[in-house]
Amino acid sequence: MTKQYRTEKPAVAHETAQGLFDAYLLPKHTMKEFDEACLAPIKKTNAKEVRELRKRESASQKVFARYLNVTPGLVSQWERGEKNPGARRSSS
């Protein structure tokens, strides 16, 4: 998947930071800050869009889940609108 940047300047800064991170010269928490500052926000996806994407790729729920490293049950929950992709569980 291609990274989407806010504008061209943050793209250059992020690519430089990514190189430093890959060379173990930039800590993970700093790279995360670059991600948040430079990358465009991810559009929320609804159940219908998840189902349409999976079908467009001619993948079963099981295969689609494997591509995304999640369970087939989670894909099913996404497609029924019970859960949303990218939603984080609270750490309580």
Instruction: State how many domains the chain has.
Output: 2
Domain identity same for 54 and 72: yes
Report if residue 1 sits inside a domain: no
Is residue 90, in this structure, part of any structural domain at all?
Answer: no
Look up the pTM and report it.
0.58
Whether the predicted pLDDT of 92 surpasses 50? no
In terms of residue numbers, what domain contains 74?
47-80
**Contact of 86 with 44, CB cutoff 8 Å:** yes
Q: Would you state the pLDDT for residue 87?
A: 63
Condensed to tens digits (0 to 9), the pLDDT of residues 3-54 reads 888 888 999 999 999 999 999 999 999 999 999 899 888 888 999 999 999 9
Rounded to whole angstroms, how far apart are CA atoms 73 and 70?
8
Task: Give domain status of residue 68, yes or no.
Answer: yes
Which pLDDT belongs to residue 1?
56
The answer to whether position 2 is within a domain reads no
66: in domain: yes
Nearest CA among 60, 17, 68, 65 for reference residue 38: 17
Residue length, the chain?
92
Residue 34 and residue 51 in one domain: no
DSSP assignments along 29-44, one per residue: HHHHHHHHHHBPPPPP
